[in-house]
Structure 1
Amino acid sequence: MLTIGDKLPEFNVPAQKGVDALPDDERISHSDFEGKWKILFWWPKDFTFVCPTEIIGYGDLKEDFEDRDAVLIGASTDTDFVHFAWRKSDERLAAQDFWWLADNKKELANALGIVDADAGVALRATFIVDPDNIIQHITINGLNVGRNPQETLRILDALQTDELCPCNWDQGQETLKPAA
């Protein structure tokens, strides 16, 4: 598995956004968001139970991520057509206005090292990637436990200070200053 300090692998995968039209060979590449922070979060499968709670939770913070010059990108190993069908079937998911990667060949998931060997799907992995495409934070949960999107936002805030941030630090609080 890739780790902190590793470069996000180059990729060019199908992607899906919205419900206005069927997928039409849209793709997202590693270079589409150059110069931006990236919040790349993976879920195991569409049409499941924990995944929509996470997608909606991250989507609720999309503007907060954008305010921090970060782009929100969801991903699973389902196809763009499955993503589209799932969004169409659930108005809460249809309202989520960000790209969903459709890594059905598992090229990016395998390159990141996040495919569960037994289930053959991506683990619940979140990557915070800096504007130079360097991984700065990773959180990985098993298949049955959802994440806290607010914590991802808190960690992004801390990373962007480029300072020493204590446990439970929140934006606006003092950072640590080492003794001279």
Structure 2
Amino acid sequence: MLTIGDKFPALKLSVQQGIAALPGGETIDLANDYPGKWKVIFFWPKDFTFICPTEIIAYGELANDFADRDAVLIGASTDTDFVHFAWRKSDERLAKADFPWIADNKLELSTALGILEKDAGVALRATFIVDPNNIIQHVTVNGLNQGRNPAETLRNLDALQTDELCPCNWKAGDEVLKPAA
């Protein structure tokens, strides 16, 4: 599995966003589409499931908070862009989560990252925080049966962006550690 300090894969992949029109071959270029921005890329195993929508909706509710920190929120699963579209269209809460959803149905990105669940052949619940130079700065991975906390992802982004030593349970506005000189 790729980890902290590794370059995030520079792939161009199918992507789906919004519900205004059927997918029309839109793509996302993970190396070039967001120059100077942090990227928060989170995977869920499958569309039309149970835990996944709770995470997507919770990330969507924090989308403006991520944007305020110069970070783009990008979701991903191993489903197709048409399945993403149908799922968004079927649930108004998911439709409001209007950030790009990568359609990794060829398993290119999940394989490159090393996050495929071996038996199910779907992505684990992995979250990557990638800096503006496309270097992975944070990774968390949950199994298929445990959702994650998007507010914790935001807290980790805040800590990374301080470029300081942040103690346990640190949150934005708290003091950072200053080692004695």
State the TM-score, normalized to the length of structure 2: 0.99
Q: Give the distance between the partners of 1:77 and 1:35, measured in 2 at CA.
A: 27
1:27 maps to which residue? 27
Q: Give the distance between the partners of 1:40 and 1:156, measured in 2 at CA.
A: 12
Q: Give the distance between the partners of 1:110 and 1:164, measured in 2 at CA.
A: 33
Within-5 A mapping of 1:3-22? 3-22=3-22
**How many residues of Structure 1 are paired with residues of Structure 2 in the alignment?**
180
Q: Give the Å deviation of 1:37.
A: 0.2
Within-5 A mapping of 1:123-142? 123-142=124-143
1:76 maps to which residue? 77
- Greater than 2 Å deviation, 4+ residue runs: none
1:177 maps to which residue? 178
Q: Give the distance between the partners of 1:115 and 1:122, measured in 2 at CA.
A: 4
SS at match of 2:46: coil
Q: Give the distance between the partners of 2:85 and 2:43, measured in 1 at CA.
A: 16
Identical pairs, percent? 74
| Residue 67 (1) aligns with residue 71 (2) | no
Q: Give the distance between the partners of 1:9 and 1:55, measured in 2 at CA.
A: 22
Q: Give the distance between the partners of 1:106 and 1:142, measured in 2 at CA.
A: 18
Gaps of 5+ in 2: none
Q: Give the distance between the partners of 1:152 and 1:93, measured in 2 at CA.
A: 19
| Residue 156 (1) aligns with residue 160 (2) | no
Q: Give the distance between the partners of 2:60 and 2:132, measured in 1 at CA.
A: 21
Within-5 A mapping of 1:40-59? 40-59=41-60
Q: Give the distance between the partners of 2:116 and 2:34, measured in 1 at CA.
A: 24
Deviations 1:15-59 (A, max 9, x none): 000001000000001111121000000000000000000000100
1:165 maps to which residue? 166
Q: Give the distance between the partners of 1:108 and 1:34, measured in 2 at CA.
A: 20
Q: Give the Å deviation of 1:65.
A: 0.3
Counterpart code for 1:107: E
Gaps of 5+ in 1: none
SS at match of 1:108: helix
2:93 maps to which residue? 92
Q: Give the distance between the partners of 2:164 and 2:87, measured in 1 at CA.
A: 41
State the TM-score, normalized to the length of structure 1: 0.99
Counterpart code for 2:57: I
Q: Give the Å deviation of 1:140.
A: 0.1
Q: Give the Å deviation of 1:92.
A: 0.5
